[in-house]
Chain A
Amino acid sequence: MAQDRTYTKFLNELGDTTRFTLRFFRELFKRNQELEEFFRQCYWIGYKSLPLVGITALIMGLVLTIQSRPTLVEFGAQSLLPAMVSVSLVREISPVITALICAGKIGSGIGAELGSMRVTEQIDAMDVSGTNPFKYLVVTRVLATTIMLPVLSNLSNAIGLYGAYLGVNIRGTVSWHLYWTQVFNALSFGDVIPSLIKTFFFGFAIGIIGCYKGYHSSKGTEGVGRSANSAVVVASLLVFIIDLIAVQVTDLLGLT
């Protein structure tokens, strides 16, 4: 019986999220979009997340290189270190870690902001003033996360590769020129493009889940906390699911 209720609740939630997503697309193609708010959100979501994403990417590149070196040394293949690290970073690690950081920082931020607006009746106030709160709050944020996440992921790739260069040179000596030659020889568009495409989906998932959880927040301050928390949990889970699907699709298309 309790299990039935859980399934029903899950299916209801899934249906509501789908309707919310469809409404996003309906509102997206209407006239008079809130461009000023959209650019403000791009600034907050993109520019303001850059320091966190940048530091994490640098450390990620550095640590991945340091951790990989002993195994490659064992097989006498340390010269492959730049190539191996660059492919790992660009194809998988950098987009996923950037998305997870953004799910934590941006997803929870949107969930909490919209949640507190809901419980303090600010969204209702927009409604009764004749302003469409969905267009103003949801469309702008989802669009901003969808566009900014690929930008952040690309910057994360670049910073991670600089981190890897530092990592390579901690124990060995590889010249700047040789390092980048090896990196670019190892990478192809088949690595970069699929990775770039999936980050759009990551950004969309983070934005839509954050907005959905916040927009449907209830039960006062407790509900706001719960919205922020579940926005992070669900968005993080979705990032992995999307990644899994993206890997399968890339594999089917022969881009591996």
Chain B
Amino acid sequence: MKNGPVIDVHNVHKSFGENHVLRDFSMTLAPGENLAILGKSGSGKSVLIKCIVRLIPFDHGTIEVLGEDVNVLDLDALDVLRARVGFLFQSNALYDSMTVRENLEFSLRRHWNADQRKKGAEAVVLEALTDVGLPHTVNMMPVELSGGMRKRIALARTLILRPSIILYDEPTTGLDPITSREISHLIVNVQQKYNTASVIISHDINCINITSNRVVILIDGTGYANDTYANLRNSNDPRIKDFFD
């Protein structure tokens, strides 16, 4: 596993009734790599990353994360694995009844004991908030924050457990172009600072251009193309060109 992929998705199939969302889809993610998955709305991008952390069960195939087959882990082992995999939700999924501090500390409750939380939580929370440029929001409620700020706080919450992998579900959706660019650069900064590997689900071409080392294009539930952003941009395949025009 040391030099192998941190995520290995092999022949994964997922359908909802008659709707086959993923058809024997395979992909790998190398340590420290930023892999973007590009696809139209409803093409199964979000389903794929939810399968990776077993939020959604898949029909067949295997998914190995950090060398562990997610489908055979019991719930306790899955919780331990999930702590090493950050997940940034499209809706941010901040706990709206908690302050920013409580949102960040909440992730620590399962993995740190009370003594550790008492001694170390404050510093870790402030460091995560500083990483996303929002240390002054620590006592604010999510409802008081703008869309871009919420996205940053959600990223800070993801960072607090120092994950080896971060899965980004549409990180720039619903944001203005300037904020989208800021978030995209933040993703790159996080990857460089913590040497995380990332899967970035998006249909925002600018975000993919800034963040990705490699792009997989998801069409009809399969990995239609797998190359660098520059190569795909110059492709003559009409189905690929559709995404860049």
Residues in B neighbouring A129, C-beta threshold 8 A: 82-83, 106-107, 110, 157, 161
**Which residues of B are found within 8 Å of A117, using beta-carbon distances?**
95
Q: Does A120 contact B (CB under 8 A)?
A: yes
Q: Which residues of A contact B53 (CB under 8 A)?
A: 128
Give the chain A neighbours of B110 by CB distance below 8 A. 129-132
Q: How far is it, in angstroms, between the C-alpha of A120 and the C-alpha of B107 when the chains are bound?
A: 17
Kindly list chain A residues whose C-beta atoms are within 8 Å of the C-beta of B106: 126, 129, 131
Query: Which chain A residues in 107-131 approach chain B with CB under 8 Å?
Result: 117, 120-122, 124-131
| Contact between chains at A125 and B95 (CB < 8 Å) | yes
Bound CA–CA A117/B95 (angstroms): 8
- 0/1 per residue, A136-174, Cβ < 8 Å to B? 000000000000000000000000000000000000000
Name the segment of B30-38, B84-92, B211-219, B229-237 touching the other chain: B84-92
A124 in contact with B109 (CB, 8 Å): no
Partner of B83, one of A124, A126, A130, A132: A130
Size bracket of the A interface:
10 to 19
Contacts A130-B79, A131-B106, A131-B110 given; does A120 touch B85 at CB 8 Å: no
Whether A131 touches B95, Cβ cut-off 8 Å, given contacts A124-B55, A124-B89, A125-B89, is no
- Measured CB to CB, the nearest residue on chain A to B78 is A130
Chain A, Cβ-Cβ closest to B103? A125
Query: What 0/1 pattern do residues 72 to 107 of B give for CB contact below 8 A with A?
Result: 000100011011010101110111100000000011
* Contacting residues, chain A, for B20 (C-beta < 8 A): none
The distance from the CB of A202 to the nearest CB of chain B, in whole angstroms, is 26
Q: How far is the CB of A239 from chain B (nearest CB, A)?
A: 28
Number of A-B contacts (CB under 8 A): 51
Given contacts A121-B89, A125-B93, A129-B106, 6 further A-B contacts (CB under 8 A): A120-B96, A121-B93, A124-B89, A125-B89, A125-B94, A128-B53
A131 to B78, CA, bound (A): 11
Contact B107 A121, beta carbon cutoff 8 Å: no
Which B residue's beta carbon lies closest to that of A121? B93
**B interface residues, Cβ below 8 angstroms from A:** 50, 53, 55, 75, 79-80, 82-83, 85, 87, 89-91, 93-96, 106-107, 109-111, 157, 161
Q: Please indicate the chain A residues that have their CB under 8 angstroms from the CB of B55 in the complex.
A: 124, 127-128
Task: List the A side residues contacting B109 at CB < 8 Å.
Answer: 131
Q: By the criterion CB–CB under 8 Å, are B95 and A128 in contact? A: no
CB distance from A75 to the nearest CB of B (A): 56
Among the interface residues A120, A121, A129, A132, which one has the most CB atoms of the partner chain B within 10 A? A129
User: A127, B82: Cβ atoms under 8 Å?
Assistant: yes
**A128–B78 CA distance with the chains assembled, in angstroms:** 9
Inter-chain CA distance A68–B90, complex, in Å, is 60
**Inter-chain contacts of A131 with B (CB < 8 A):** 106-107, 109-110
B82 and A122 contact, CB distance less than 8 A: no
- Residues of A with C-beta under 8 A to B79: 130, 132
Q: In the bound complex, what is the Cα–Cα distance between A223 and B90 (angstroms)?
A: 19
Residues 84-126 of chain A, each 1 if its beta carbon lies under 8 Å from chain B, else 0: 0000000000000000000000000000000001001110111
Interface centre among A122, A125, A127, A131 (most CB of B within 10 A): A125
Within A33-89, which residues are at the interface with B (CB < 8 Å)?
none
20 A-B interface contacts by CB (under 8 A): A117-B95, A120-B91, A120-B96, A121-B89, A122-B93, A122-B94, A124-B50, A125-B95, A127-B55, A128-B53, A128-B82, A128-B87, A129-B106, A129-B107, A130-B82, A130-B107, A130-B111, A131-B107, A131-B109, A131-B110
With A120-B93, A131-B106 in contact, is A125–B87 under 8 Å at CB?
A: yes
